[in-house]
Structure 1
Amino acid sequence: MRTENLLIELGTEELPPKALKQLAESFASNFRLALEGAELQFDSVNWFAAPRRLAIYVSALAESQHDKVVEKRGPAVNAAFDADGNPTKAALGWARGNGIDVSDAERLVTDKGEWLLHKANTPGQPVGTLLENLLNQAIGKLPIPKPMRWGNYSTQFIRPVHTLTVLYGSEVLPVSVLGLTSDRVVQGHRFHGEKRFDLAHADTYAQALKEQYVIADFNERADAIRDGLEQTAEQLSLTPDYDNALLEEIAALVEWPVVLTASFDSAFLDVPKEALIYTMKDDQKYVPLLNADGSLANTFLFVTNIESRDETAIISGNEKVIRPRLADAEFFFETDKKTTLESRLSSLESVLFQKQLGTLKDKSDRISELSGFIAQQIGADVTQASRAGLLSKTDLMSEMVMEFPEVQGVMGKYYALNDGEDAAIADALHEQYMPRFAGDILPASDVSAAVSLADKLDTLVGIFGIGQLPKGDKDPFALRRAAIGVLRIISEKGLNLDLEVLVGKAVDVYGSKLTNTDTQTQVVDFVLGRFVSVFQEQGISMDVIQAVSARRPTRPADYAARVSAVAEFKQREEAEALAAANKRVANILNKQNITGELPVDESLLQDEPEKALYRSLRAVSDDVQQAAASQEYGAVLSTLATLRNDIDDFFDNVMVMADDEAVRQNRLAILLMLRSLFLKTADISLLAKS
C-alpha cells in the first residue's frame, strides 16, 4: 500500500507562550490516538511549534485503511428456523439488515451451539475521507481552558486561526476545520521574508520555513537560544542565570531568535539581587548574568525575534523598558527598610490564614511556640527559633513581597539584617520555605530547620484538624509537598525527632480550634505515607517500603535507616529463605492468636534442632537489641541472617503443633522470640521473591 508523509499546520496569531509546548505535545498525542483508533498505519507522529503555528508531521502514513472482514453473528439456528425448516422473522430481519438472503448465511459452530453467520467484506476508507474527523477529534481534546471566537466565525480556539495547511506528500487533502478549508499556504516570519507562501511538499516544511526566518522545531529553537546565551555569556566572562522553564518560555515567544546584550545602571545593584532577578526573568523574560562570586552583574541578555541592521536601537529600547521595573524594586526596598519586621506583626492580624484557623498573626504565634519546642528537641537555640517563628510571615506585608510574591522569605532575610536581628534568625526567615520543590536544598541550620518544620506542621495539623483532607489531585494547601518537606528535613539531616511528638505538640498549640478528634493519627499516617514516593524515586522497591511501613516507625530518620538496611538485606543470599520463614512463622502465630510475650521453658525442649535454634536466639538477642536501639539495622539483619541454617533445621525436623499442649506452647514461644527479633527492623515476611 502507498504511504506518504502528512503535514498539518494551524497558522495562528501569537499563542500563549507558557502553554505552547503543552498544546503541541497534546495535539500530536491526540492525533496519534485518532489515527490508531481509525486503524491507519503510520511510523511516527512528531510536532512543530512556534509562536504563530502548531504543526504535526506523520511519517509513512498509509493512504487508506486495510480492508476488513467483519463477522456478524445472527440468531441461533434453533431460533432461526421453524419446525418446517422455514426462516423465522428473527432470521429474515437479521439477513435483511445485512443485505443477504438467509440461504446465503454461513454457520458458526461452537461448543455452546450453532448460529447463523455473515462475513462482510468492509473496504478500507482513504485517508482523505477520514482526515477531517480525525483532525477535529485531535483539536477538540486540546487543553484550552478559555477558547475564543474571532471575526464572524462561530468556531472557537485558543487564538484566531488564519491558515490551514494539509499536505499528504505534495497533495492537498480536502479538510474543513475551524472555519477554514485546507490549502498549502503557510505564514512566514512576521517581519522577515514572505508574509505567506506556498509549501510544495510536506517534507520541505521545516527547511522552507527556515528560508522564511522561522525555526519551526521547538527544541531546535530552544537549543539555538541556549547556545546563544552560553556563548555570549562566556565572551563576557559571566554566567547566565536561567532554568529550562524560562528557556522554553523564551523559545515560545520568538521564531527567529537573536541573543543581544544590554545593561542597566549599576546603582540598582544596591537592591537585593533576588528582587532584580525576579523582575528581569518574570516580567521581561530577560536572562540575568552573574559574576564569578555569584553576585549580579549590571549586564543582561535578551532574545529578540528579528535580525536588525541597527541592534543599538533594540538594545536601547529594552534598557528603557527594564529601568522603571528596577526603579520600582529600588523604591519598594528603600520604603520597606523604614519599617521593622517586628512592627509589621500587628498588620498580620488583618490577613486570614484560614477562616477557621485564624489570621497570619495567629499562625505566626503558633509557629513561634512550635519552633521553640522543636529547637529544644534538637539542641538548637530556642530563643532564636522562637523569634524567627514569630517574624516568619512579616515580610508578606512588605511592599516588595506584595509586588513580587516570589521573593517572600528572601526579603525577610534582608529586612531582618537591616533591623539588626541575629544572622541565624535572618537565615531562618529565608529558609523557612525550603524545600520548595522536589530536589530543592534543605534549611542549612538547625534553627532554620526548626522554623521550616514548625510552619509545615502547623499547616498540616490545622487543615487536617478542620477535616479538609486532600482528595484526589485537589490539594489547595499543598499538604503533600509540606509532608515530603517534613520527611526530607528530618531524615536527611538525621534529626532525632518523633512525628507523634511533633504532631501532638502542634495539636496542643491549636487548642480548641480543631474539630477533628483523630487529627494526630491522620497527620502522622499521611506524612509517613509520603515516604512511599520519596523512596520509590530513590529506586527502592515497594516490598521493602511495605516491610518497614508495617512497623510504623514514627521517627523519619529511623524509618529511613530501616529502609536502607532492608533494601541491602534483600540482596543477600539468605534473604529469600528468611523472608519465607518469617512468613511461615507469622502465619502460625496468627492462626494461634499468639501475641505479647510467651516465655520459653528450657526443660520442655526435646529435639536438638529446637534446642539449637533457642541457643542461637539467646546468643544473638542482646546484640540485636543493642543494635536496634542504636538504629544499626544493617547489623541487626546481618546478625539474624546467621540463623538461617538453624531456622531451616527447625522447620525440617520439628513438629511445632505437637500433641502435648505444653510442648506446643513452648515451640510457639521460640517462634515468637524469633519473630520479635526480626520485627525490631521490619516485617521481612512481606519481602517479595527476587
Structure 2
Amino acid sequence: MSQNTAPLLFELGTEELPPGALKSLQTALVEKIRDGLDRAELTHGALTGYAAPRRLAVQVSEVIIEQADRSFERRGPALASAFDDAGNPTRAAEGFARSCGVSVNALERLETDEGAWLVHRGIEPGQPTASLLPGIIEQALNHLPIPKRMRWGSETLEFVRPVHWVVLLLGDQVVPASFFGVTADRNSQGHRFHHPDPIAITSASTYVEQLHRGHVMVDFAARRASIREQVMAEGERLGGQAMIEDGLLDEVTALVEWPVALSGSFAKDFLRVPAEALISSMQEHQRYFPVKDQQGALLPHFITVANIDSQAPEQVIAGNERVIRPRLADAAFFWDQDRHQALGDRLSSLEQVVFQKSLGSVADKSQRVAQLAEGLADTFGVSATDAKRAGQLSRADLVTEMVGEFPDLQGIMGRYYALESGENPAVAAALDEGYQPRFSGDAIAPSALGQLLAVAERIDTLTGIFAIGKAPTGAKDPFALRRAALGLLRTLIEAERDMDLTAQFTAAASSQPAAVEASKQVSALVDFCLERLRALYHEQGFAAELFEAVRTVIDPNAFSPLDFDRRLRACQAFAQLPAAASLASANKRIRNLLRKAESDAAAAVTQTTVNPAQFEQTAESDLFEAVTHRQATLQSHIDQAQYAQALALLAELKEPVDQFFDQVMVMAEDPAIQKNRLALLHLLQQQFLAIADVSALTESG
C-alpha cells in the first residue's frame, strides 16, 4: 500500500434492522459511498459491504488520504464589456476580479472562434480526505432506499432504526464526524451475549477479523454460506435432505449474527396433514427449514438456526419444539374441520366474499371464469364439463379455515379438498395448477385443464380491473395485472395454444357487470398485453426491431400470442440468413417508393394488378416469375403458421430483387410502365408483409 493511501472503514450500529431490507441497504450504501468518493475525485480501491442484524458497514481497501490539487478555469465577462474605450476596466471586470480574490491585472484572456473573455485560472489545493468523508457518508445515508424512516428519543433526525454507535476509521485513525447525533469513534459492538463489551477496532483493515472474534459474522454472503452448509449437514445427519428456499435463507441470514443450526422433531401424527400446510407453518411462521426423505416425503423434523452457540442446545431445541407444536396442531385442526364440508358445498359462501365492489363477489367471478373456461374447452382439448367445474371451484378454497390461516396455500388446498370431496382428479389438479406461473421463472401449468383455468382466470381479472379504470399506471400495479398478463401470455405461448385473445377479452367483457362498460377496454387490453410481450422478449434478448417488425403487421382485432411468437422467431431466424440484410433494405426501398407514389396526386389511382405485357426489361419478368412461382407454396406455409419456412422461401428472391433494382428504373417516364412496376413491387411487399415488416429488420440484421 502506498504511503499516500489508507484503508477506510465506516460502520453504523443500530437496533435490529428489517431483515427483508438488509441486503438492499448494504448494496445501496456501497454504491452511494462509491459515488461520493468518485465525485470528490478521491482515488480508491475496492469497496466491500457488510451487513448483520445490528449493523451496516463499508470497507474500502485503500483510499488516497488527500485530494490531488486541481486546476480550474473560471470565465468572466466578455472583453468587449470588460474594458471601456480608453482601455480601463469596467465595473464588470472589477467585480469579477474581486469575486476571484485577485486584481484585474492578474486575470488572463481566453480567445476562441466564438469570442474573447476574461478568465481566472489557478490551482485549487486538494483537501484532506478525512475532512471530506463526513459529507460523503452523510449524503450516502440520506439517499438510502428506506420507504419509512423513524425517529427515536428526543432526536429529530430519522433513520430506518435507532442508531447506537458509529465507527469511522481512515487507516488506524478515527475520523472526526457525527451521524444521527452519535459521535464516531473506533468502538464497535460484538455479539449481544457472547461478547457484550465494546470492540475497539484497531485499523480499518482488521474489522472483519476482530468482529469474528467477537462472535459476529459480519459478511452477509459468508454468513449465508455458513448457514446453508450447516443446515444441509444437519439434514443429512437426520437421514434426509433439508428444504432450503432462497428467500427463507436470506431472511434467516438477516436475523442472526452467529448462526448455529439445530434440529428438532414433532409428532409423526402431524404427517397426515398435507405436507404443504406443515411446510408453510415451519417456513412462514417459524423460519424453520423442513426436512424430506430421499423420496421427497416430509420427515417429522425441522432445522432452526439459533443466534447463539448455547452451552445447553437441548434447551434451545426443546423451546423450538414447544413453539412449533401448537402451529402444527392448528394446521391439523383446520384440515380436519375443513373436510367436514365438501368443496362444492362452499360455493354459496363465496357470495359473501367481495372480489371488487364494482365487479361483484368471488362467487360472481367464479361463474364468469366457469363460463369462459367452458367456451375454451375445445381450444385446450378438454371436457367442457370439467372446464366449467374447474372454473366454478377455482376459488372455493378461499373460504376454508386452512387458507384463511395460510393464504399462500390457495389452490394447493383446493386440490386436496377437491380430491377429498370426490371431484375428478383432473379438476382437482387444475385448481392448483391454475395459479401457475406463481412467480417469475415459475413453470406454467403442466396439464391442459390447468392451462385452461390459468388462462380463463387471468382473462377475467384483466378485463374486470381494466373495466373499472384500475389499469396499472407507472410503478403502481395494486392488482398485479402485469404479472397476470405475463402469466397469460406465457401459458398460451409455451403451451402452444393458438387462441384469439382479442375475441376472448370481448367475450369476458360481455359477462362483466353492465355498469362497468368493459367492452370499451378490449383495445386497451390488447395493447397492454403487447407491451408485456415486448418486455418479455426484451428480457429474452430479442432485438426491439424484431418485435416491431411483427407488431406492425398483426391485426389487433385478432391477436394470437402464439402466432406472434412464431412470427417473431421466424424473423430472428431470417435475420441470420445471408440474404436478410439485402432483402430488408430492398423492402425499405419498396416501402418508400410506394409511399411516394401514393402521395403523388398524379398517381392517385394505384394499379393493383401486374400486366406482364407491359414489361420492358428481363429483370421485371424474372422477378414476376420468381414471385408468382412461389406464391402457392408460400401461402401454404403461411396458412400453416410455418413462418420460418415462408421467410426462407422469400429469401430465395434476393437475386431477382437485386437484379430488378440494378437494371430497372421504377419511376419511369411512361405513367403506365411506372404503375405496372409499382404494382409488381406492391405484390412483392405484400408477400413479405403477410409475415412481418421485413424492412424493419435492417438494424437488427
User: Which residue of 153, 156, 163 maps to 1:154?
Assistant: 156
Q: Give 1:32-71 correspondences, 5 Å limit.
A: 32-71=34-73
Contact (CA 8 Å) 1:370, 1:509: kept in 2 or not? no
531-540 vs 202-211, which deviates more? 531-540
User: Which residue of 300, 308, 333 maps to 1:306?
Assistant: 308
Whether 2:613 is the aligned partner of 1:607: answer: no
User: Which residue of 405, 417, 420 maps to 1:418?
Assistant: 420
Aligned partner of 1:630: which letter?
A: Q
Whether 2:637 is the aligned partner of 1:632: answer: no
Distance across 2 between alignment mates of 1:288 and 1:587: 65
Distance across 1 between alignment mates of 2:663 and 2:143: 66
Q: Give 1:257-276 correspondences, 5 Å limit.
A: 257-276=259-278
1:168 corresponds in structure 2 to 170
Aligned partner of 1:570: which letter?
A: A
Q: CA deviation at 1:518?
A: 3.3
1:205 corresponds in structure 2 to 207
1:226 corresponds in structure 2 to 228
Q: Give 1:646-685 correspondences, 5 Å limit.
A: 646-685=656-695
Aligned partner of 2:127: which letter?
A: Q
Alignment gaps of 5+ in structure 1:
none
Aligned partner of 1:153: which letter?
A: E
Contact (CA 8 Å) 1:385, 1:448: kept in 2 or not? no
Q: CA deviation at 1:378?
A: 2.7
SS of 1:299 mapped into structure 2: strand
Whether 2:589 is the aligned partner of 1:587: answer: no
71-80 vs 619-628, which deviates more? 71-80
Q: CA deviation at 1:381?
A: 1.0
Per-residue displacement from partner, 1:543-590 (whole Å, max 9, x unpaired)?
Answer: 112111112262111111111111111111111001111111111122
User: Which residue of 408, 424, 429 maps to 2:431?
Assistant: 429
SS of 2:550 mapped into structure 1: helix
Whether 2:581 is the aligned partner of 1:576: answer: yes
Q: CA deviation at 1:596?
A: 9.6
Distance across 2 between alignment mates of 1:154 and 1:447: 59
Q: CA deviation at 1:217?
A: 0.5
575-584 vs 459-468, which deviates more? 459-468
Aligned partner of 1:585: which letter?
A: I
Per-residue displacement from partner, 1:58-89 (whole Å, max 9, x unpaired)?
Answer: 12211122222221111112211222222211
Aligned partner of 2:597: which letter?
A: Q
Distance across 1 between alignment mates of 2:530 and 2:110: 58
Q: CA deviation at 1:430?
A: 0.8
2:240 corresponds in structure 1 to 238
Structure 1 moving runs of 4+ over 6 Å: 594-597
Q: Give 1:461-480 correspondences, 5 Å limit.
A: 461-480=463-482
Aligned partner of 1:459: which letter?
A: T
Per-residue displacement from partner, 1:171-212 (whole Å, max 9, x unpaired)?
Answer: 111111111111111101112135212111111111111111
Q: CA deviation at 1:516?
A: 5.6
Distance across 2 between alignment mates of 1:640 and 1:376: 35
2:601 corresponds in structure 1 to none
SS of 2:665 mapped into structure 1: coil
Q: Give 1:86-165 correspondences, 5 Å limit.
A: 86-165=88-167
Q: CA deviation at 1:491?
A: 0.9
Cα RMSD over matched residues? Answer: 1.7
2:376 corresponds in structure 1 to 374
1:623 corresponds in structure 2 to 633
1:193 corresponds in structure 2 to 195
Per-residue displacement from partner, 1:380-403 (whole Å, max 9, x unpaired)?
Answer: 111111111111111111111111
Q: CA deviation at 1:251?
A: 0.7
Distance across 2 between alignment mates of 1:271 and 1:486: 32
| Count of residue pairs brought into register by the alignment | 690
SS of 1:488 mapped into structure 2: helix
1:358 corresponds in structure 2 to 360
Per-residue displacement from partner, 1:91-113 (whole Å, max 9, x unpaired)?
Answer: 11111111111111111111222
Distance across 2 between alignment mates of 1:646 and 1:73: 63
2:572 corresponds in structure 1 to 567
Per-residue displacement from partner, 1:420-443 (whole Å, max 9, x unpaired)?
Answer: 111111111111111112221111
Contact (CA 8 Å) 2:195, 2:214: kept in 1 or not? yes
User: Which residue of 344, 347, 363 maps to 1:345?
Assistant: 347
Contact (CA 8 Å) 1:378, 1:496: kept in 2 or not? no
Q: CA deviation at 1:343?
A: 2.5
66-75 vs 622-631, which deviates more? 66-75
Contact (CA 8 Å) 2:48, 2:58: kept in 1 or not? yes
Aligned partner of 1:317: which letter?
A: G
Distance across 1 between alignment mates of 2:203 and 2:605: 78
Aligned partner of 1:644: which letter?
A: K
Q: CA deviation at 1:475?
A: 1.0
Distance across 2 between alignment mates of 1:326 and 1:245: 22
Change (3 A) 1:365 1:513: farther
SS of 1:592 mapped into structure 2: helix
Distance across 1 between alignment mates of 2:670 and 2:481: 56
Q: CA deviation at 1:239?
A: 2.2
Aligned partner of 1:215: which letter?
A: M
Change (3 A) 1:595 1:210: farther
Contact (CA 8 Å) 1:372, 1:450: kept in 2 or not? no
Q: CA deviation at 1:457?
A: 0.6
Aligned partner of 1:571: which letter?
A: Q
Distance across 2 between alignment mates of 1:168 and 1:565: 59
Distance across 1 between alignment mates of 2:274 and 2:580: 56
Distance across 1 between alignment mates of 2:290 and 2:526: 43
Distance across 1 between alignment mates of 2:94 and 2:541: 63
121-130 vs 244-253, which deviates more? 121-130
2:560 corresponds in structure 1 to 555
Distance across 1 between alignment mates of 2:440 and 2:16: 33
Aligned partner of 1:42: which letter?
A: H
Contact (CA 8 Å) 2:506, 2:519: kept in 1 or not? no
Per-residue displacement from partner, 1:470-496 (whole Å, max 9, x unpaired)?
Answer: 111111111111111111111111112
Aligned partner of 2:67: which letter?
A: Q
1:336 corresponds in structure 2 to 338
SS of 2:471 mapped into structure 1: coil
Change (3 A) 1:64 1:658: same
Distance across 2 between alignment mates of 1:118 and 1:177: 38
Distance across 1 between alignment mates of 2:610 and 2:66: 79
344-353 vs 54-63, which deviates more? 344-353
Distance across 2 between alignment mates of 1:313 and 1:48: 32
Aligned partner of 2:100: which letter?
A: N
2:654 corresponds in structure 1 to 644
Contact (CA 8 Å) 1:105, 1:117: kept in 2 or not? yes
328-337 vs 348-357, which deviates more? 348-357
Distance across 1 between alignment mates of 2:646 and 2:413: 48
Distance across 1 between alignment mates of 2:507 and 2:27: 48
Per-residue displacement from partner, 1:518-544 (whole Å, max 9, x unpaired)?
Answer: 311111121122112222222222211
Distance across 2 between alignment mates of 1:588 and 1:469: 41
Distance across 2 between alignment mates of 1:191 and 1:596: 88
Distance across 2 between alignment mates of 1:276 and 1:516: 42
Distance across 1 between alignment mates of 2:79 and 2:607: 71
Distance across 2 between alignment mates of 1:116 and 1:603: 78
SS of 2:512 mapped into structure 1: helix
Distance across 2 between alignment mates of 1:113 and 1:648: 53
Contact (CA 8 Å) 2:379, 2:497: kept in 1 or not? no
Normalising by structure 1, we get a TM-score of: 0.97
Q: Give 1:381-420 correspondences, 5 Å limit.
A: 381-420=383-422
Contact (CA 8 Å) 2:61, 2:205: kept in 1 or not? no
